[in-house]
Amino acid sequence: MGAKSEIYKLISEIAGSGVAVIFISSEMPEILGMCKRVAVVHEGRLSAVLDSGREPVTQEKIMYFAAGGKG
């Protein structure tokens, strides 16, 4: 767990300096905790881009678009 914490800290520092970071994870808590924008893919195609600057990104929204929901 300590290693993940250090990696998260490094990613946050890099992103805070203005560098774009692509973070890929199948773990929802990681996505919700680390990402300001979430690109959701369904059947190999981009189905949504959720931006926490506009409205909260939730597990429910991510799963809706991952299951093929339309925005």
Query: Mind listing the pLDDT tens digit for each residue in 5-44?
Result: 999 999 999 999 999 999 999 899 999 999 999 999 999 9
The residue written with tokens 């767990």 in the block is 1
Measure the CA–CA gap between 30 and 48, rounded to whole angstroms: 18
pLDDT at 67: 96
Helix (H) or strand (E) holding 40: strand 37-42
Tell me what pLDDT residue 19 has. Answer: 95
Per-residue pLDDT reduced to its tens digit, 41-60: 999 999 999 999 999 999 99
Q: Give the model's pLDDT for residue 1.
A: 61
Which pLDDT does position 2 carry in this prediction?
Answer: 83
Enter the DSSP assignment of 41.
Answer: E
